[in-house]
Amino acid sequence: MNMKFGVGMLTDSLWGIAERAKLADELGFDLVRIADSQCLFRDLYVSLTLVALHTTRCMIGPGVTNPVTRHPTVTAGAIASIDELSGGRAILGIGAGDSAVFNSGERPAGAQALKEYVVAIRELFQRGETVYRGRLCRLTWPQRAVPIWVAAAGPRALRVAGE
């Protein structure tokens, strides 16, 4: 069995996150995840850009983003950019939403909304287009399908994660 270790980071300082990510990479951590909560921390994708530029080996991604605060084309395009910048080291963590959602006055996504969001992003990566909420959406330039990890707790969300 090959055990891997990752670290989750809160972005209290952009340059601090770059330094901590570099250290984690040098120490052999396999994954650096950045919290996605726009009301509490620095911007996720600015932070991931710095992580990509200051690491060479570890996988990187949000820990986790959500279907409520970003449209799937925005999320897919942003993580595909990070994937390109990092040389194919991105992963995309998606969950129902917590502090990013609550601090925006919204409610977390239900299992069906989470599923639709994950399916939409997968289709954008695989086919370059999807129908989301009844509308055709396109994203034609990503070079590969970034792996998607679904964070889940309840039985319905766990079912989504297993699909």
In order of their start, the domains of the chain are: 6-162 (3.20.20.30)
For residue 63, what pLDDT band results from cuts at 50, 70 and 90? Answer: very high
Position 106 confidence tier, pLDDT thresholds 50, 70, 90 = confident
pLDDT of residue 22: 98
Span 139-145, mean pLDDT?
95
Q: Please give the pLDDT value at position 16.
A: 94
Cα–Cα distance between 17 and 150 in angstroms, integer?
24
Share of the chain above pLDDT 70, in %: 99
Confidence of residue 54 (pLDDT cuts 50, 70, 90): very high
Instruction: State the pLDDT at residue 145.
Output: 97
Distances in whole angstroms, Cα of residue 138 to Cα of each of 84, 122, 135, 142: 18, 12, 10, 11
Structural contact between residues 112 and 154, judged by C-beta atoms closer than 8 angstroms: no
Q: How many residues does the chain have?
A: 163
